[in-house]
Amino acid sequence: MEDAEFDDILDDWFIESLKTYKDLHVYQLEHPTQVIEWTSEKTVCVAGYSLSKNEILELRLPLKLFADENKGLCAERDFKVAHGGFTDGPVRRLRHIPGTRCVVTNDGLSSDLQVWDLGGDDSDVIRRTGSIAGRRNVSERGSRIAARLSSPPQILHGAQSSDIQLTELTSGRTLYKLETDSADPLSSLQFVTDAVFLAGCSNGSVCVADTRTSAAPQLSPPPASSGDSVLWWADASVGPHPSSCRVIRLSSSGQAVVSDLRKLGGGAVCQAQLDVQTRCCNLDHVRVSWAPMLDDCISVSGFGGVVQIYTTCGWSMELQERQPLFQHRGHVVSSQQTDDSVPVFTTAHIWHPERPRTLLSAASDGSVHVWDWVDPEQSAAGSPIPRT
Amino acid sequence: MPEINVTPLGAGQDVGRSCILVSIGGKNIMLDCGMHMGYNDDRRFPDFSYITQNGRLTDFLDCVIISHFHLDHCGALPYMSEMVGYDGPIYMTHPTKAICPILLEDFRKITVDKKGETNFFTSQMIKDCMKKVVPLNLHQTVQVDDELEIKAYYAGHVLGAAMVHIKVGSESVVYTVSRNKHAATAWIDKCRPDILISESTYATTIRDSKRCRERDFLKKVHESIERGGKVLIPVFALGRAQELCILLETFWERMNLKAPIYFSTGLTEKANHYYKLFITWTNQKIRKTFVQRNMFEFKHIKAFDRSYADNPGPMLIGKFKRQCSVIMPGYCVQGTIGHKILNGQRKLEMEGRATLDVKLQVEYMSFSAHADAKGIMQLIRMAEPRNMLLVHGEAVKMEFLKGKIEQEFNCYMPANGETATITTNPSVPVDISLSLLKREMALGGSLPDPKKPRTMHGTLIMKENSLKLVSSEQALKELGLNEHQLRFTCRVQLQDPHSDPDTLHRIYTHLKSVLKGYTIQHLPDGTVMVESIVIKVSSSAEDSNAKVLLLSWSYQDEDLGSFLSTLLKKGLPSGLC
C-alpha cells in the first residue's frame, strides 16, 4: 500500500477522512492483539494471542495526540515501545491494576492468571512475577479479569458466575467468593464502584454483587427475546452522574438492551436493533462499551472490520432499527492482510478516558488505529454532549 | 579460533558520535566517524585514543567507511583525518560525498563563527579531508587491498545512505543504519554475514503510516486555503519537494481546487541539477514520475515571482497574515530560523537588529523515512546473520530488543570502548583429489558428516587462489621430489652375562609381558620386532658381560621407540628365564 501511486491513495475514504476525523493515526504491529488496556494516561498495553510464544508491549502514545496548545509544533506521531516482554502462551485478557505497575493476564485456555511487572525507568523488560490459580483447570473461554484502585492491590476474576473470586495480589489470599447457583460462562466482568461489581454472562443474564457482603447478588435474567444460540456481552457505565448508572447488553444478532443499574429487576429502559452486519462466524472478539466522556454514546466492534458508534438518545422500548452515528472503516480500507479469503475483523477497541471522541482500535491483521472522530450531527438535539 | 572484534568508540549503548571499529581477518576498519551533537567539549568526538595513544591513525586503519551524511555519522571526520591524522582511504557514496562538506561547513560556521569555539576543524581541513574520499557506486565491489573488499547497497533513509558489506576471505560483516521500506532487499536475502551491525534507535518505534502523515498535510493545506490564507512550505530535502508537488497536484485535481500553487524558482534549477546527478539514488516512485514528466511541468504548480506575493486571495506560498500557515516538512538544523520557529519562538531577531513577529500558524510535519521495530526484525530475518550486534541506542532501552533477537540469533551490545569478540567458523572450501578420496573411503567407517568430522591425512597445496588436498605421493610427484624415509637408531648398554641369543630371548619375553597389545615378534634372523622397531643384540667389545642393544625405528613409531629405549636402559628384571 505504501508503494501505490498517489491516485490510489487519494481514495474516497481518504478524502472523506479529512472531514470526518480530527486526528487519525494508523499503526502496524508485528502481531495482532486482542487486548488494549490503559496502563497510564499516555500508555497502553497490547499482547499477541498466537498459541505459542507472544510479546506483551507497553506502548507510549504519540506526543502529538497530547500536545493541545502547540499541537502544530509537535511532529512526533509514532508509538514508542516503552517496555516489552515475552509470554509462553496467548494473551486473551489483560488488566492493569490501578496504582501499580502490574498487569494480570489470562490465556483463554484455563482460568489461571499470570502476573507481570511492567518495569520502570531502569529496564525496558516486562517480567512475569507470579501467577494466581483460578478455580477450574480447563475453561473454554478463560477467565475475565477486573480491578480497581485498592491497597493492597486486589484482582477480581472468574471464568463463570460460580467461580468469581476476589484475590489479594501479593499473598494470593481469597478475600471474597460469589455465592450463586448458576454456573454461566462470563462475557464481562467489571467494578462499578470500589466494592460493587457487575458480571455479564454470555447467556444474557447479569448479576451485581458487593464484595463486602456475602449477600446474594442482584440478578437480571436474559432479555426476553433471547434465543438459545444467542450470545450476549455487557458493559456498565460508571460515574457520579445519575444517568450514567446503566448497563447495556448486546446480543450476537445485534439487539441492544439498556437497563438501569440501580433497578436491575425493573426490566429494560430502552432497546434497539443495531446494524452490526455480522461478517464473522467467530464472535470471540465482540466488544460493547459506553463512551466515558459522552452522554448516551456507545461503541460496538467485533462483528466485522468496522467500529461503530451509536447514540442511545431516542431509543424506546420498541425494537427499532438504528443506524450508527459514525463508523470507523479504517481497518477494512487499509488492511495489510495478504490473505483475502479471511476478511479483517476488529479484535478490540477502547475509549480514551478523557478525550471525548478519541478511540483506539485493533484488528486481526495487526493494525492498531488511534482516531478522533467528528460528530456528523451538528445540531444540538440528538448529538452526544461532552461532559464538563 | 578465528574471530572478529567489534569495538564501538561512539554509539555503544549510547546515541550520537557513531564510530565503530571492526577487526576482521587482520584488517581494521572504521565505520562512520560522527559527532555527538549534545556536547560542546571533547566528549563530542569518538575516543580515538583507543586505537593509539599518540601518533597518526593511518598505520592502524585499513580504511574508513561513512554510511550517510548526517553529522552524528560524519561530523568528526575532518577532526579525525586532519587533527588526529589519517591519510588512508575514506569510502562513501557519491551523494554523501557531495553533501557532507556542505553540512560540515555549515556546522563549522555555527560552532566557530557564531559560538566562538576554538578547538575545531577549519574550512581548509574539511577540503583536505574530502580529498581523501574514494566515492563508491552501488553494487560495485571495491578491493581496498588484496584481501579486503567492500560493497555498498541502497539503504533508503536519506539520499546516499548505504548499507555496507565487508568481506575478508570467507568472513563478512554487514553494517546498516536505519533501513527503510524502500531499501533494496533482494541482495541481503540470506547473505548470512558473520555479523550484522545495526542501529537500534528506531527499533522501539512503531511508525504512523505514511498515508496518515499525508492526510494531515493535505488537511492543513486545505483548511488554510478554505480560510482564504496562504501556505508556505519551505523544502530542503531533494526528494520531498517533488513528492509533495505530486501529492498536491493530485489532490487539487481530485478536489477541483483552483487556488494557485507556486514554487520558488531559486530552488528549481539547483534541485533539478542535483536530481539529475543523483537520480539513481532516489526511490522507484520518484524516478518513474521524473521520467514521465519534468519536475516542474505541473498543471497547478507554477514558478514563483516575488510580485505574486501581493496578489489577493488564497495561494500556496506568499506574504503572510494571521490566517496564513507555514508547514515544515523536515528537520531544521540548530541555529536556523526554521529551528527557532519550530521551538515555538514567536519573535525573531533578524540581521540589523530588526525583530519580526511570527503571526502565522506553524505546522511541523515529519516525513522522514526510517525503519521501525518491524523493519529491523524483517531485516535481521532476511539477512540471517550468524551474530547480531546492536549500536546507537541507550542500554536501558535496548534490553527488550536484545531479548527478542536472542530468541533467534546471538546478540551483542557492547558499550563504548568495550570489545565484542565474535568467534567465527569460517569454512574454507578445498578440492580433494579423487584418488585420496577413494583411499579414505576405503578405510571404511561412516560417511563424512558436518556433525562428526573425520581426521584425514593428505597434503594441502595452495596455488594462487585455489586449495587442493592430495595424497603425499601425488604431492611429491607434482613437486618432482623424492620421498625420504627416516629411521632413528639408538644404542643401549645392558649388563647381561648370557649369550647373545639368550639375551635377545630374555628381551623378547620381557617386552611381551610389558607391552601387551603390541605386535612383538622374535624373528629367525636374530632380531626382535616391536611394530616396526627392530632390536638387535651384540656383545660389547670392551666388557664381556655387557651387551649392546641396537634399536632402530621409522619416524612413525618415534613415540614407541623412545619408550622402548628408556625401558631397556633400566635393564632386564632378574626373574626372566
User: What does the pLDDT read at residue A1?
Assistant: 33
Asked if B404 and A75 come within 8 Å (Cβ–Cβ), the reply is no
Residue B70, in any domain of the structure: yes
Residues of B belonging to the active site: 199
Residue B532, CA atoms < 13 Å, CB-side half-sphere: 13
| H helical segments located in B66-159 | 71-74, 77-78, 94-108, 123-131
CATH of the domain at B386: 3.60.15.10
How do strand A307-311 and strand B195-199 relate by DSSP bridges?
unpaired
Residue B380: is its pLDDT beyond 80?
yes
Asked if B366 and A123 come within 8 Å (Cβ–Cβ), the reply is no
For A:16-35, CB contacts with B below 8 A are: 17-18, 24-30
Residue A222: is its pLDDT beyond 80?
yes
User: Beta-carbon neighbour count of residue A385 at 10 Å?
Assistant: 14
Residue B326, in any domain of the structure: yes
Asked if B206 and A59 come within 8 Å (Cβ–Cβ), the reply is yes
Which ipTM was obtained for this model? 0.85
Angle, in degrees to the nearest 10, between helices A12-20 and B210-226:
60
User: What does the pLDDT read at residue A40?
Assistant: 93
What single letter denotes the amino acid at residue B432? I
Give yes or no for A379 touching B (CB within 8 A). Answer: no
Same domain, B383 and B343: no
Q: For all residues of chain B together, what is the average pLDDT?
A: 81
DSSP string, A265-291: GG-EEEEEEE------S--TT-EEEE-
User: What does the pLDDT read at residue A198?
Assistant: 94
Asked if A121 and B396 come within 8 Å (Cβ–Cβ), the reply is yes
Same domain, B251 and B377: no
What is the per-residue pLDDT across B271-328, written as a single tens digit (0 to 9) for each?
556 656 666 666 555 555 555 555 456 677 766 666 655 565 555 543 334 456 666 6
How do strand A297-301 and strand A287-290 relate by DSSP bridges?
antiparallel
Nearest residue on chain B to A3, alpha-carbon basis: B285
With beta carbons less than 8 A apart as the criterion, state whether B8 and B418 touch. Answer: yes
Give A77's contacts in chain B (Cβ within 8 Å). Answer: 208, 212-213, 366
Distances B487 to A262, A302, B176, B457, B534 between C-alpha atoms, Å: 109, 89, 60, 21, 11
The nearest CA of chain A is from the CA of B393 a distance in Å of 12
Confidence bin at A5 (pLDDT 50/70/90) = very low
The nearest CA of chain A is from the CA of B331 a distance in Å of 10
Reported for B219-225, long-range contacts at CB under 8 A and 24+ positions apart, including other chains, are B219/A18, B220/B325, B220/B327, B220/B363, B220/B365, B221/B248, B221/B251, B221/B316, B221/B327, B222/A18, B222/B251, B222/B255, B222/B257, B224/B314, B224/B323, B224/B324, B224/B325, B224/B361, B225/B257, B225/B259, B225/B314, B225/B316
Same domain, B227 and B169: no
Question: Of A80-89, B59-68, B205-214, where does mean pLDDT reach its minimum?
Answer: B205-214
Residue B438, in any domain of the structure: no
User: What does the pLDDT read at residue B272?
Assistant: 56
Residue A383: is its pLDDT beyond 80?
no
Asked if B213 and A77 come within 8 Å (Cβ–Cβ), the reply is yes
Nearest residue on chain B to A5, alpha-carbon basis: B285
Mean pLDDT of B461-485: 86
Mean pLDDT of B366-378: 72
Question: Of B184-198, B363-377, B401-415, where does mean pLDDT reach its minimum?
Answer: B363-377
Residue B454, in any domain of the structure: no
How do strand B520-523 and strand B431-432 relate by DSSP bridges?
unpaired
Mean pLDDT of B166-191: 76
Same domain, B17 and B159: yes
Supply B577's cell numbers: 628365564
Per-range mean pLDDT, top range of A8-17, A189-198, B219-228, B424-433: A189-198
How do strand B162-168 and strand B148-154 relate by DSSP bridges?
antiparallel
Mean pLDDT of A191-200: 92
Asked if A73 and B247 come within 8 Å (Cβ–Cβ), the reply is no
Domain that holds residue B141: 3-205+369-419
d(CA A255, CA A225): 9
Residue B423: is its pLDDT beyond 60?
yes
d(CA B474, CA A293): 90
Question: Of A189-193, B86-90, B253-257, where does mean pLDDT reach its minimum?
Answer: B253-257
CATH of the domain at B331: 3.40.50.10890
Task: Write down which residue in B346, B364, B382 finishes a domain.
Answer: B364
The nearest CA of chain A is from the CA of B214 a distance in Å of 10
User: What does the pLDDT read at residue A72?
Assistant: 66
CATH of the domain at B501: 3.30.530.50
Residue B228, in any domain of the structure: yes
Q: How many domains does chain B have?
A: 3
Paired with A155 in beta bridges are A167
* Higher-pLDDT residue of A125, B311: A125
User: What does the pLDDT read at residue A106?
Assistant: 94
What is the per-residue pLDDT across B336-354, written as a single tens digit (0 to 9) for each?
666 777 777 777 776 666 7
Residue B499, in any domain of the structure: yes
Same domain, B137 and B9: yes
Residue of B211, B247, B396 lying closest to A123 (CB–CB): B396
Mean pLDDT of A319-333: 92
Residue of B203, B205, B362 lying closest to A78 (CB–CB): B205
Asked if A30 and B397 come within 8 Å (Cβ–Cβ), the reply is no
User: Beta-carbon neighbour count of residue A61 at 10 Å?
Assistant: 22
Confidence bin at A256 (pLDDT 50/70/90) = very high
Supply B170's cell numbers: 570467507
User: What does the pLDDT read at residue B333?
Assistant: 54
Residue B86: is its pLDDT beyond 90?
yes
d(CA A268, CA B169): 79
Give B209's contacts in chain A (Cβ within 8 Å). Answer: 2, 25-28, 334
How do strand B133-136 and strand B90-93 relate by DSSP bridges?
parallel
Confidence bin at A6 (pLDDT 50/70/90) = very low
Residue with C-alpha cell 454472562?
A201
Residue of B181, B363, B403 lying closest to A86 (CB–CB): B403
Supply B139's cell numbers: 553494487
Question: Of A16-20, A262-266, B178-182, B185-189, where does mean pLDDT reach its minimum?
Answer: B178-182
Asked if B222 and A18 come within 8 Å (Cβ–Cβ), the reply is yes
Angle, in degrees to the nearest 10, between helices B238-255 and B284-292:
70
With beta carbons less than 8 A apart as the criterion, state whether A328 and A23 touch. Answer: no
What is the per-residue pLDDT across A148-157, written as a single tens digit (0 to 9) for each?
999 999 999 9
Mean pLDDT of B542-565: 87
User: What does the pLDDT read at residue A265?
Assistant: 77
Asked if A124 and B254 come within 8 Å (Cβ–Cβ), the reply is no
User: What does the pLDDT read at residue B228?
Assistant: 80
Give yes or no for A52 touching B (CB within 8 A). Answer: no
Same domain, B513 and B544: yes
With beta carbons less than 8 A apart as the criterion, state whether B396 and A124 touch. Answer: yes
Same domain, B126 and B27: yes
Using the 8-state DSSP alphabet, how is residue B515 labeled? S
Same domain, B201 and B222: no
Give yes or no for A2 touching B (CB within 8 A). Answer: yes
Give backbone dihedrals phi and psi of B265, rounded to 5 degrees, phi first.
-70, -30
Give yes or no for A78 touching B (CB within 8 A). Answer: yes
Same domain, B351 and B378: no
Same domain, B188 and B225: no
User: What does the pLDDT read at residue A14?
Assistant: 86
Residue B450, in any domain of the structure: no
The nearest CA of chain B is from the CA of A334 a distance in Å of 9
The nearest CA of chain A is from the CA of B381 a distance in Å of 13
What single letter denotes the amino acid at residue B148? L
Give yes or no for A318 touching B (CB within 8 A). Answer: no
Asked if B374 and A30 come within 8 Å (Cβ–Cβ), the reply is yes
Task: Write down which residue in B378, B399, B419 finishes a domain.
Answer: B419
User: Beta-carbon neighbour count of residue A41 at 10 Å?
Assistant: 10
Same domain, B305 and B357: yes
Mean pLDDT of B264-270: 53
Give A3's contacts in chain B (Cβ within 8 Å). Answer: 284-285
Nearest residue on chain B to A1, alpha-carbon basis: B211
Asked if A24 and B343 come within 8 Å (Cβ–Cβ), the reply is no
The nearest CA of chain B is from the CA of A244 a distance in Å of 35
Give A331's contacts in chain B (Cβ within 8 Å). Answer: none
Same domain, B113 and B137: yes
What is the per-residue pLDDT across A328-350, written as a single tens digit (0 to 9) for each?
999 988 876 666 677 889 999 99
Residue B145, in any domain of the structure: yes
Residue B25: is its pLDDT beyond 50?
yes
d(CA A268, CA B439): 92
User: What does the pLDDT read at residue B353?
Assistant: 67
Task: Write b or e for each residue in B122-148: b if 16 or more Cβ atoms lie within 10 A of its Cβ, otherwise e.
Answer: eeebbeebbebbeebeeeeebebeeeb
User: What does the pLDDT read at residue A336?
Assistant: 65
Task: Write down which residue in B319, B335, B364 finishes a domain.
Answer: B364
